[in-house]
Amino acid sequence: MKINKEGYWIIGITGLICVAIWVLVYIFITTPIAIMWIMAALLFAFWFFVTAFFREPRRVQIHDSELIFAPCDGRVVVTEIVSDDEYIKEEMMQISIFMSVTNVHMNWLPVGGEVEYFKHHHGRFLVAWHPKSSTENERTTTVIKLDDGRQVLMRQIAGFVARRIVSYMKPGTRAEQNSVMGFIKFGSRVDLLIPKDSELTVEIGDPVIGSQTPIARLKRREK
C-alpha cells in the first residue's frame, strides 16, 4: 500500500504515541498479560487505520475533454444551480461530494486547462454537510480555464474533523486532467462548479471514484 507524503509525519507521531501508551501501561499498571496483548492489538488497529487513511491508490489517468470527472472519492450530496460570487460571477451547476473517514482523501483535477485562480480561505469548521460550509469553512478555491475558454471552479472544504487542506495548484500553470491536485486531511467535502448547461451523469446519493467516475458532460459548442 503506497502512502501519500502528506501522512508521513502524522503516521510517525501516531505510532510513537501508541507505543508510549503501551509501554507506560506495561510499566506502571498491573494488568494481566492477556489484557496487555488485547491493548496492543487495539493500538495497532488504530495506528493502521490512521495509516490507511493516507493511502494513495494507483489509478488509470483518463483524458477526455468532453467529460468532467469526480475530483474525489465519496458520495454526491448536492446537484443544484448556484450563483458564484467569488470569481466567475455567474450561475453555475454545483456538484458536491462528501468524503467519509473511510474514503481515500486525495483530490484530482476533474478537467484539464490553465490554473487561472487560486485562493486559500481561513474559516470555520462546520460539519461538511452543513449548507454554509461551502462559504464559511476553511477552504481553497481553484479555477481552471478550459481550452475553449469556459471555466470550472473547485473548492476543497474542511469539515468538523478535517483541519488541514493541501493544494498543489499555482496560477498560470497547466493543469492535466485527473492528475493529483491536493489532499484533505481527515475530511471532508469537495464542491465543483461547472457550466450550468452541462449534462449531469450522476444523481444525489450516487457513490463516485475520484479521477475515474464521469459526473458530467460538457455541452458541445457550435464551431
Residue 223 forms part of a structural domain: no
Residue 164 forms part of a structural domain: yes
Claim to verify: residue 120 and residue 198 sit in the same structural domain:
yes
Claim to verify: residue 44 and residue 101 sit in the same structural domain:
no
In this predicted model, what pLDDT tens digit does every residue of 40-71 receive, in sequence order? Answer: 899 999 999 888 888 888 888 899 999 999 99
- Enclosing domain of residue 27: 5-53
- Does position 73 have pLDDT exceeding 80, yes or no? yes
In this predicted model, what pLDDT tens digit does every residue of 2-22 receive, in sequence order? Answer: 887 887 888 899 999 999 998
Q: What is the pLDDT of residue 144?
A: 97
- Does position 128 have pLDDT exceeding 60, yes or no? no
Claim to verify: residue 85 and residue 18 sit in the same structural domain:
no
CB 186 within 8 A of CB 97: no
160 or 202, which is more confident: 202
Claim to verify: residue 38 and residue 75 sit in the same structural domain:
no
- Does position 136 have pLDDT exceeding 80, yes or no? no
Q: Characterize 131-149 residue by residue with b for buried, 16 or more Cβ atoms within 10 angstroms of its Cβ, and e for exposed.
A: eebbeebbbbbbbbbbeee
CB 176 within 8 A of CB 131: no
Residue 185 forms part of a structural domain: yes
How far, in Å, CA of 44 to CA of 55, rounded? 17
* Share above pLDDT 70 across residues of the chain, in percent, rounded to a whole number: 88
pLDDT band at 222 (very low <50, low <70, confident <90, very high): low
Q: What is the pLDDT of residue 50?
A: 85
Residue 62 forms part of a structural domain: no
The number of domains in the chain is 2
Q: What is the DSSP letter of 23?
A: H
188 is catalytic: yes
In this predicted model, what pLDDT tens digit does every residue of 187-212 receive, in sequence order? Answer: 688 999 999 999 999 999 999 999 99
Residue 129 forms part of a structural domain: yes
Q: What is the pLDDT of residue 134?
A: 58
Claim to verify: residue 132 and residue 178 sit in the same structural domain:
yes
52: phi then psi, degrees, rounded to nearest 5: -65, -25
| Cβ neighbours of residue 52 closer than 8 Å, sequence gap 6 or more | 1
- Does position 38 have pLDDT exceeding 60, yes or no? yes
Q: Taking residues 160-167, report their average pLDDT.
A: 70
> What CATH number has the domain bearing residue 156?
2.70.70
Active-site choice (133, 167, 188, 198): 188
